[in-house]
Every structure is written in structure tokens, then in C-alpha cells.
A and B are shown apart, each in its own frame.
Chain A
Amino acid sequence: GESVGLHLPTLSVQEGDNSIINCAYSNSASDYFIWYKQESGKGPQFIIDIRSNMDKRQGQRVTVLLNKTVKHLSLQIAATQPGDSAVYFCAENADTGRRALTFGSGTRLQVQP
């Protein structure tokens, strides 16, 4: 994948289990957060986003949780499938007027069949 060579934390789960990927952000002024999935040979794919006025948002098989007190973001994937294997990035936008995102280094999710 595009992050080969980068030392990424890896989460290995069994197919059918739930996955939780965590992200710590540093800027308490950040008011928008987003999760991306990147498969090998592809660009990052939007999964789900959340604004700071919420602490939970659900999508199809995915849930994002935001804890502003400890500046922590998590992505929960229900009933993980082999197709979920990828690198997952969180990103934050500390200033919506800037229209720029700051990305984390990512977590590699490996789903064992």
C-alpha cells in the first residue's frame, strides 16, 4: 500500500469481530474530524465524519465516537470483513476557514478469515 515503509500500528482481527481504531488529536480547537480508508493502490476513501458538537455518529457498519475531553477519536467497524483490510486515517480541521485537513499517520487493519 501507499504507506509501505511507514511504521504503522497494526490491528489484527478475526472476520466477523468488531474493530475499534483509535486516534488522538492534538488541537483542542479542531471542530471537524473525518475518517478515511486507504486500500493498496488507491487513494483515501471517505468513510464518515463528525463535528465537534456531536459525540457519536453512525453510518453503515461504522460508528465514530468523539471524546473532546481527552481529544480522542475512534472508529468502530461492526462485523469486520476481509474487504475492510486497509490503512485507516483520521484527520482534523482545526480551522474551517482554512479548508485544510491534518492527517494522522494511520493504522493498518488486517482481517483474518
Chain B
Amino acid sequence: ETGVTQTPRHLVMGMTNKKSLKCEQHLGHNAMYWYKQSAKKPLELMFVYSLEERVENNSVPSRFSPECPNSSHLFLHLHTLQPEDSALYLCASSPPGGDEQYFGPGTRLTVT
């Protein structure tokens, strides 16, 4: 266990649903990330938050909306997703001054 937790671990949603993924860390880290890991591609960086400010958005469709209310929590709000959005969504965090990232267990998302 790295100390990064994600909920839910599994989620099945229809294309018209709205859901949110949650990530939490109490490691004192000051950067948090969302990645997408799908069956046919390597890990893809989606968003980076540093000191609670979004510093990177890698051309992610607007149906994915991140939120970072404080340095310990990160959300990914989902709405009107497509079946191709089915994937493992991973959250990670980094310590101050550090480049290493520590990952949570991921949320396995299935869009039907």
C-alpha cells in the first residue's frame, strides 16, 4: 500500500450517467495526477494538480472534469461518457520537491 486510496474500486455506468471518482492521500504530497490505463495503450496522463492548481490538461475531453479542493483530495467527475472511456483510472501523488509518483489501486470503469 502506498497511502493513496481510490474509491470506488469498480464502477459500471451508463452513457447518460454522472459519477465521480475520488482519490485521497495523507502523505503530505503536494501534487496529484489522474492517469488513464486502457487495454490497448500505455499509461496516459490526463491531469496534473500542483499546490491545488491545475497545471496540465492533456487534451482530455470535457466529459472528464477534475477537481482538487485541497492537497489531499482529488476528484474526477464523469458525465456522458462513451464506451471507449472504459479503462482503469489511476490517481498518483508526488511529494514536495520529488519527482517520484505513488499510485493508488485504480478505479476500473466500465461504460455500457
Contact = CB atoms under 8 A, between A and B. Distances in A.
Q: Is the interface of B mostly helix, strand, loop or mixed?
A: strand
A100 B40 contact: no
A89 B50 CA distance: 24
Contacts of B55: 99
A34 to B, nearest CB: 6
A45 B31 CA distance: 17
A89 B43 CA distance: 9
Contact of A93 (B43, B92, B99): B99
Contact of B99 (A32, A42, A43, A102): A32
A28 to B, nearest CB: 18
B105 A98 contact: no
A3 interface: yes
B103 A49 contact: no
A17 B94 CA distance: 34
B101 interface: yes
B39 A3 contact: yes
Give the secondary structure class of A's interface.
loop
Interface string B31-69: 101000101111101001010000110000000000000
B37 A46 contact: no
**Best-buried of B40, B101, B105 by chain A (most CB within 10 Å):** B101
Given A5-B40, A34-B99, A46 B45 contact: no
Nearest to B55: A99
Given A43-B90, A44-B90, A104 B42 contact: yes
Given A3-B37, A6-B42, A106-B42, A43 B101 contact: no
B99 A96 contact: yes
A46 B2 contact: yes
Contacts of A41: 105
A55 interface: no
B56 A98 contact: yes
* Across the A-B interface, the 4 shortest Cβ-Cβ residue pairs: A5-B39, A43-B103, A103-B43, A105-B42
